[in-house]
Amino acid sequence: MILIVDSGSTKSDWIAVDNSGNKLLEKLRTKGLNPEILSEDKLKKIIKKHPDLKVHKSDVTHVFFYGAGCGTDRGKEIVRNALKEIFLNAVVTVEEDTFAAVYGTISHETEAAVVCILGTGSNCSYYDGRKLHQRVQSLGYILMDDAAGNYYGKELIRDYYFNHMPEAIKVAFGSKYNLEPDYIKYNIYKQSNPNAYLANFAEFMFLNKESAYIVELIKKGIRLFAKNMIMQYKEELKTVPVHFAGSIAYFSQEEIRQVALEMGFVVGNFERRPIEGLVAFHTKNL
């Protein structure tokens, strides 16, 4: 049994397949497994809690894990140790989530492209058809993550409190969420996944896209992301498309295309969940 995992900070999708790519179990889901936020012990507890993973742990021969927070050697080591302790018979490979976005969005294995992730967090890399090139190392949700779910959650809360929202939007936002100051501060400063908590607010944008305020908010984040991340690859952008993975990107396709026209890059593919592409890639390359 081969386990392929696409993990963000909010959730992790797991697929179990055989050597031919045939699915052995229905798609599994656990909480996000970000080693920058969770300790090794917490990662193990989340994995062990899933009944199917617990039952089949001895059958697993390979684990291919792609995750947020795995862009450093330290992050990879934390996840690798947790997985090896549970799946004792498996060869474990851990890579950052950008590789999942690459394999899930490119049209063929040797295609060169700039590949972006806009989900709970955000990232951007250049894939030359063989290797991944990262020009900016992410410093996490507090300092970076433009246009990510947690960025938009933070912007929505700030606009609500600074009275920058149109009145109708402010009323709707206030009625949908608990915006008591103590509750917000508790979730941000006392709970283990503040970035995922903030990202939950992003859904509000896509339920209210008839508002000019919302559309401009979405584009504001994408412009920041394009300026700070995509434009790191100005030379490459002359010849390659920009692909996008993640739910924020998927639901912001129109706004991304508008910003691309403004800033002069070509938009390629969108993939909400790149895990299906990962299955095809790994079963082909075992």
Name the strands in the sheet holding 11-17, side by side, starting at the edge strand that comes first in the sequence: 28-31, 11-17, 2-7, 62-67, 91-96
Q: Which residues of the chain have pLDDT under 50?
A: none
Identify the three-state secondary structure at position 85.
Answer: helix
Which stretches of 61-109 are DSSP H helices?
73-86, 97-105
CB-based contacts of 222-226 (< 8 A; 24+ apart in sequence): 222/147, 222/252, 222/255, 222/256, 222/259, 223/259, 223/262, 223/263, 224/146, 224/147, 225/116, 225/118, 225/122, 225/124, 225/146, 225/147, 226/259, 226/260, 226/263, 226/265
pLDDT of residue 187: 97
Antiparallel, parallel or unpaired: β 28-31 and 267-271? unpaired
pLDDT of residue 109: 77
pLDDT digits (tens, 9 = 90+) for 264-273: 999 999 998 8
pLDDT of residue 98: 85
Q: How far is CA 246 from the centre of its chain?
A: 6
Give the predicted TM-score (pTM) of the model.
Answer: 0.81
pLDDT digits (tens, 9 = 90+) for 74-100: 999 999 999 999 999 999 999 988 888
pLDDT of residue 286: 60
Q: 169: closest CA among 208, 220, 217, 215?
A: 208
Q: Which residue has the tokens 């559309």?
A: 215
Q: Which residue has the tokens 């109708």?
A: 168
- Give all domains of the chain, ordered by start, each with its CATH number: 2-101+274-285 (3.30.420.40)
Amino acid (1-letter code) at residue 78: I
